[in-house]
Structure 1
Amino acid sequence: MAIGDLYPVETGDCTDLYYIDTGMYDTPEYGAVYILDAERPAVVDTGIGMRYDAILDAIERVGIARDELEIIAPTHIHLDHAGGAGYLARDCPNADVVVHERGARHLVDPSRLIAGTKAAVEDQWEFYREPISVPEDRIRELTDGDIIDLGTHQLVTHHVPGHAPHQVVFEDPENNAVFTADAAGIYVPAIDAVRQTTPPPDFDLEQCLADIELIQSLDPETLLYAHYGPAPTEHRLDEYADVLTEWVESVEMVRQQKDDVVDHFIAETPMSGVWGERKARAEAAMNTRGVLRYLDTRHD
């Protein structure tokens, strides 16, 4: 298994579904883009813009011509999920870009999105390709409950704003699966565990826990993680609720004892052996800053 590899999703009862390892941040098994070979073909999430040509190649390897792709569906506009949307829209001329209504304008003019991403990811920005605009007439705005009809499949939109106000998950009833965005955390196949994702500025613990409950109410057999890959649902949503709660509690406790909270969690990260030291440290710093902002603003 390597960066750029294309895999069929064989978890549960999934059919017509593939995913590619986009090598996000030059890290294998961290970023996935899904291709749904439905009557009206779709791509769910688009990566950070780097290696978008590998996504195009994967679409064609599945048997979908570029002009046959009809839907490009970022789960939210954070650039690790939507950074490739403009490039895919440019090269797949008949595809609509479907995105939650609160994020649509930022795909048309990504300037504020670029500035916010640079502030959040710091020196990881070097791994991103500068996004290009999605033409306004190519965007279709979504709200909670909207259904994207793909013919042989449907994607049901569920608004889950705990991670970001423009985040949705897509339920695929035919596959009894949910494309989880970041609402179910980061799944790490190498250790078969879920990790927190709590970036600034919008992380909200209570809403994230409510989002987890919403996904549980859909009772999917399979979770389709953008970070990373398909997994049986099993215990993972309960696990993530515990992970998030314990993570916020640990940051709050350390903040009461130390001034260098971010440095503390960088030094303590257990993920260096999985993602490499640079990515693991950057992830720890970003997630810690997100919780600190949440703690500072939760009573506002």
Structure 2
Amino acid sequence: MAIGDLTAVSSTDTHYVDVGAYDVPGYGSVYLIDAERPAVVDPGLGTNVDLVVDALDDLGITDLAYVLTTHVHLDHAGGAGLLLEEFPEATVLTHDIGVRHLIDPSRLVAGTKAAVGDQWQYYVDPKPVPEDRIESLSDGDTVDLGDRTVDVIHAPGHAPHQVVFHDRADDVLFSGDAGGIQPGGAGELFPTSPPVNFDLETCLDDAATIADRNPETICFGHFGGADFTPALMDEYAEVLSAWVDRVREKRAELDDDEAVVEYFAETADPIAPWGPRKTRAEYRLNTRGVLGYLDHGDN
């Protein structure tokens, strides 16, 4: 799969497009639900919003009803305001905690710049979402797409404003970052633990929540759709717990947090299809998140 490719999620009404986030394939997937009231799930960085618009056009979708965001981190929601400019009738739906950050994204931008460092070059400044074009979501809500209902489930381990969406008609669950990362073509799960809100115990609870839902298909924010069994979330729980243990042990050994960050960045095997640059950046980000958790959340 190449940047810009549109791919169907098995035999469902959902497709995804690789928007080439961070200039690599297999990282940023934006989902398109071809429902009676069509929706986009997680519009991405916004850097290549034209690829999303083109994909909607390829599907014959001219009237977009909703932009659903699993959470407001800019690699998932940064394109929301730009997409609204293309579809003047669309409404953004996001968790109540995240609403103010999309209306005024200045704090999101500052926090993202601090977290991602020189990766900011791959972002665009997000367009503020007009207050009259955004609605809040809470755990237990549903979204009516006309021919299907989407359940909203709070999943705050990765970020307090994260939810997952379960399309009951096609039995597809959009996991955001709650189910980990499965890079395009990699076939294995990797942890996601960025600063500043990562919490191991709550992330494990979120994985268990997804397992309890037991959808037929899971759609990862990073990257693409996959067949689901509850064992997949057992695997993610083991991967994430082992990752936190590795960072804890290396911190005790080196007693220097910057040295810990660089150790994991420089010793990581390049993840296909991202290559060395994005792999190192991902490990730096995730290591910093675990170190913050160890300072504030580890019991």
Q: TM-score range by the shorter chain?
A: over 0.9
2:16 aligned residue (12, 19, 39) = 19
Q: Is 1:56 paired with 2:42?
A: no
Q: Which moved more, 1:142-151 or 1:231-240?
A: 231-240
For 1:293, the equivalent position in structure 2 comes to: 292
Partners of 1:272 and 1:281 within 8 A in 2: no
1:60-86 C-alpha deviation (Å, 9 max, x unpaired): 110111xx1000001100000000000
Secondary structure of 1:243 counterpart: helix
Partners of 2:72 and 2:102 within 8 A in 1: yes
Matching residue's letter, 1:195: F
Partners of 1:46 and 1:84 within 8 A in 2: yes
Q: TM-score, normalised by structure 1?
A: 0.96
Secondary structure of 1:103 counterpart: helix
Matching residue's letter, 1:136: E
The CA RMSD measured in Å over matched residues stands at: 1.1
For 2:242, the equivalent position in structure 1 comes to: 246
2:36 aligned residue (35, 39, 50) = 39
Partners of 1:100 and 1:142 within 8 A in 2: yes
1:132-162 C-alpha deviation (Å, 9 max, x unpaired): 1000000010000110000112111000000
1:30-69 C-alpha deviation (Å, 9 max, x unpaired): 110010010000000011011101101111110111xx10
For 1:5, the equivalent position in structure 2 comes to: 5
Shift of residue 284, structure 1, vs aligned partner: 0.4
For 2:253, the equivalent position in structure 1 comes to: 257
Instruction: Mark the runs of 5 or more structure 2 residues left unpaired by the alignment.
Output: none
For 2:129, the equivalent position in structure 1 comes to: 134
For 2:93, the equivalent position in structure 1 comes to: 98
Shift of residue 299, structure 1, vs aligned partner: 5.4
Residues 163-202 of structure 1 mapped to structure 2, 5 A cutoff = 163-202=158-197
Aligned residues: 295
* Separation in structure 1 between the aligned mates of residue 247 and residue 268 of structure 2, nearest angstrom: 13
Matching residue's letter, 2:295: D
1:236 aligned residue (203, 221, 232) = 232
Q: Which moved more, 1:233-242 or 1:75-84?
A: 233-242
Q: TM-score, normalised by structure 2?
A: 0.97
* Separation in structure 1 between the aligned mates of residue 30 and residue 272 of structure 2, nearest angstrom: 24
Secondary structure of 2:285 counterpart: helix
- The ranges of structure 1 where at least 4 consecutive aligned residues each deviate by more than 2 angstroms after the TM superposition are 188-191, 271-274
Shift of residue 271, structure 1, vs aligned partner: 2.6
* Separation in structure 2 between the aligned mates of residue 190 and residue 273 of structure 1, nearest angstrom: 7
Residues 115-134 of structure 1 mapped to structure 2, 5 A cutoff = 115-134=110-129
